Structure 1
Amino acid sequence: MAIFRCLHIKLAIKSVNFSSTVFLKLLPSYALLIILYQLVLNGTSARLIFLKPASNHFKPLNYDGMGNLRVTKKGIRLEGISEFLLPLYVKEIHSRKDSPLVLQSDRNVTVNARNHMGQLTGQLTIGADAVEAQCKRFEVRASEDGRVLFSADEDEITIGAEKLKVTGTEGAVFGHSVETPHIRAEPSQDLRLESPTRSLIMEAPRGVQVSAAAGDFKATCRKELHLQSTEGEIFLNAETIRLGNLPTGSFSSSSPSSSSSRQTVYELCVCPSGKLYLSPAGVGSTCQSSSNICLWS
């Protein structure tokens, strides 16, 4: 019995020595794992403390998002002011029903549209000095019926509004021709067409009509006023036709002079060149006797 007890004690001592040796070998690994675990805990705690309300822009994570960021069935929802430092790729951006959508930048706001190949097809840039749009066709539509109010492309600019109103003090300046079926002024206002330094030309293949239904029509010029009809006639129709400031022809020395000191009736004469002049009326025609004015026409 004593021999067996001694053998059992020796085996127990050997097993204890073996376990101690393995534990001492694994102790550095256990210590390293404990240190790494402690570092991870410290880092996580520091991040949570940093993200916690010390800064109002960051809040701890929860089951549906983080801070102002919420993940819903319809997508991602942001509350308040959000800043993106890198490009944001989304399909649609909507604001709340009771608030507007505000895009703000310190320099400018640029919206780009690209095709499936990544090529730029349209661009809208809102800057401090100008708003620029680059596209094949630019349209402005009415919110009620979708009617085109303004459209522009390389060929033409179309204004679909019922009325085009220019309120500038200098009016509207057109570098080339203007085609319109009707030009009219505002009610109780005058219509004025003026060319300050050049000519004003109105042309129409089927005629030009100028009408003043309740007023006068005046044509004033500094030099000659030409009324020309190449194939038709010039027709003057009025109750009274007056030709003022016509020159008066004088009798030649061989012609008899008028005995009346005050002439009130004149004869309308025409020179071969078409010039009109007046001649004092007599018993017969006096145009021939006062035709010396035609020499200077």
Structure 2
Amino acid sequence: ITQEQFLLASQALHLQRPGCDAAYPVGLCGWRKRCIYFFLLLLLVTMIVNLALTVWIIKVMNFSVDGMGKLQLDQDGLHLQGVGEFQMPLYVNEIQSRRDSLLVLASEKNVTLNARNGRGHLTGQLTVGPDAVEAQCRRLEVRSRDSGRLLFTADEEEVTMRTEKFRVTGSEGAVFGHSVEAPLIRAKTSEDLRLESPTRTLTMEAPRGVEVSAADGTLRISSRKDLQLQSTEGELLLDANSIQLGSLPLGVYAASPSQALRDQAAAYEVCVCPSGKIYLSPAESVSSCQAVSNICLWS
């Protein structure tokens, strides 16, 4: 085919003559490429630093498959050797120390132990503070260390002590605002026993009897006003080698007081008025006790 025929055919088919296309760059170049390399280098450095810090923390904290440092985890629970600090509430079933060491709970303010039921309601609380130890519960019990015998109980109704001996060593003794029930009140061998009520009445009662005895000393009962010894169903027994009633008044019943003073002898007898008052009367061949004595009339 001649060149003229090819040109005419090309113009008829609207074919373009092949030529060279425009050249486009492939990949990143310039500042973008430098930024990518910089970020990759920064990421690599960060990974290396994190890896180094992780290894350092594992080395310092002594992490292992059994626990962390002095804190070990096993099937029995959590074992901590040394001092542990908890800044948030701790919920456990049991806390105990080693057999050869003590368990110490320390706090800058106070130590509070709470007991809750299944619903989360507070059932008991023990607070050890700088000023006092407070226990809030329905019943407080103190038991012996060896046998677990109950020594002290306290609830809303009563306080019970089950020890064989309760000793008060204070100089002022024990002060009770209300009644006290005890089978025996006894002082030490070398000390005196003193029961007193400075401003009120001192009452001792028992369903079967009250026994007051002083084996090696004297027994003294004094009162600012009246002293009453009463037995509702039995008798009042004063058993001693000698019974002395001091400062008893002398009862006089005569025509004139001067004649009674002249006739009175050195011996007297003890008389009792219908009101129970005791007085002395001059002893005669017959009883000189008279219910109309001046002592009985003015009693």
Name the TM-score class by shorter chain. 0.5 to 0.7
Q: How much does 1:254 deviate?
A: 11
Equivalent of 2:187 in 185, 199, 215: 185
Please list the CA deviations of residues 228-264 of structure 1 after superposition, one character each: whole Å capped at 9, or x if unmatched.
Answer: 667877666766665554426386469979989x953
Give how far 1:52 is off. Answer: 8.6
Q: Does residue 135 of structure 1 match 2:137?
A: yes
Q: Deviations over 1:194-252 (max 9, x none)?
A: 11111111123443333445554444344555556678776667666655544263864
Q: 2:49 aligns with which of 42, 48, 51?
A: 42
Write the letter of the residue equivalent to 1:92.
E
Aligned match of 2:7: none
Structure 1: give runs of 5+ residues left out of the alignment.
1-16
Give 1:193 deviation, angstroms.
Answer: 0.9
Residue 97 (structure 1) shift? 3.3
User: Closer, same or farther in 2 for the Cα pair 1:29/1:176, shift >3 Å?
Assistant: same
1:47–1:174 CA distance, 2 compared to 1 (3 A): same
Q: Is the 8 A contact 2:126 2:136 kept in 1?
A: yes
Once the two structures are TM-superposed, the CA of residue 129 in structure 1 deviates from its matched residue by 1.0
Greater mean deviation of Cα atoms: 93-102 or 26-35: 26-35
Could you tell me whether the CA contact under 8 Å between 1:250 and 1:279 is conserved in 2?
Answer: no
How many residue pairs match? The answer is 271
TM-score w.r.t. structure 1 length?
Answer: 0.67
Report the identity percentage.
51
Q: 1:79 to 1:228 in 2, by over 3 A?
A: closer
CA contact (8 A) 2:265 2:282 kept: no
Provide the C-alpha distance between the structure 2 equivalents of 1:254 and 1:113, rounded to a whole number of angstroms.
83
Q: C-alpha root-mean-square deviation of aligned residues, in Å?
A: 4.5
Q: 1:243 to 1:92 in 2, by over 3 A?
A: closer
Partners in 2 of 1:284 and 1:94 — Cα distance?
86
CA contact 1:48–1:60 (8 Å) conserved in 2: no
Q: 1:33 to 1:136 in 2, by over 3 A?
A: farther
What is the match of residue 148 of structure 2? 146
Give secondary structure in 1 for the equivalent of 2:160: strand
Q: Cα 1:237–1:137, aligned 2, differ >3 Å: closer, same or farther?
A: closer
Query: In structure 2, what is the equivalent of residue 100 of structure 1?
Result: 102
The 1-side partners of 2:65 and 2:297 are apart by 111
Residue identity in the other structure for 1:36: L
The one-letter code of the counterpart of 2:116 is R
Question: Partner residue of 1:249?
Answer: 252
Match of 2:202 in 1: 200
Distance in 2, Cα, partners of 1:44 & 1:152: 60
- Please state whether the residue corresponding to 1:39 is helix, strand or coil: helix
Q: Does residue 120 of the first structure (1) align with residue 119 of the second (2)?
A: no
Aligned to 1:99, the other structure's residue is in SS state coil
Do the aligned partners of residues 205 and 76 (structure 1) sit closer, same or farther apart at CA in structure 2, a change above 3 Å counting? closer
Q: Secondary structure at the match of 2:153?
A: strand
